[in-house]
């Protein structure tokens, strides 16, 4: 009966983090792999499906607010698409255990970086 509560709360938290540009997918991947028993590749696929509506809604809000620099987007989007395709190909070609270690290192480095105050621009 309550099997939906944890996924719902994680989805809500990830949506909020994603809308802020923080990366809610990290939260989803951790919960799915560590607490819900989902394997890494399946969790990545679910995360990507979750990301699409979240990204579109955040993009619309940012566009309405005037926060998109169109000249930068003209150069960044094609490169981002190419990098995403390459990353997806690499991720599906690698053994799942090889994906866990770099992801763990990424999380550790991200967490450690939060311990130091950021310089204001």
For residue 103, is it within any domain?
A: yes
Q: What is the mean pLDDT of residues 73-96?
A: 90
Of residues 37, 102, 80, the one with CA closest to residue 46:
37
Separation between Cα atoms, residue 97 and residue 84, nearest integer Å: 21
- Looking at the whole model, is its pTM more than 0.85? no
Please, which residues have CB within 8 angstroms of residue 36's CB and are 6 or more apart in sequence?
Answer: 6, 7
Q: What is the mean pLDDT of residues 28-52?
A: 85
pLDDT bin (cut points 50, 70, 90) of residue 121 is low
**What does the pLDDT read at residue 67?**
92
Q: What is the mean pLDDT of residues 85-105?
A: 83
For residue 83, is it within any domain?
A: yes
Q: What is the mean pLDDT of residues 27-43?
A: 85
Region of 97 on the Ramachandran plot (φ > 0 left; ψ -120 to 50 alpha; else beta): alpha
For residue 37, is it within any domain?
A: yes
For residue 121, is it within any domain?
A: no
For residue 120, is it within any domain?
A: no
For residue 72, is it within any domain?
A: yes
Number of independent structural domains in the chain: 1
13 within 8 A of 7, measured Cβ to Cβ: no
Query: Which residues form the domain of 79?
Result: 5-113
For residue 40, is it within any domain?
A: yes
């Amino acid at each position: 009966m309550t099997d939906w509560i944890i996924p719902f709360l994680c989805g809500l938290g990830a949506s909020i983090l994603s809308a802020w540009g923080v990366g809610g997918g990290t939260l989803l991947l951790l919960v799915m792999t560590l607490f819900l028993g989902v394997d890494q590749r399946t969790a990545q696929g679910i995360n990507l499906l979750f990301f699409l509506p979240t990204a579109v809604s955040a993009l619309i809000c940012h566009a309405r607010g005037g926060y998109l620099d169109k000249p930068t987007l003209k150069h960044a989007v094609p490169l981002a698409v190419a990098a995403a395709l390459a990353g997806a190909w690499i991720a599906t070609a690698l053994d799942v255990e090889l994906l866990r270690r770099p992801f763990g290192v990424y999380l550790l480095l991200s967490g450690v970086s939060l311990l130091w105050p950021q310089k204001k621009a």
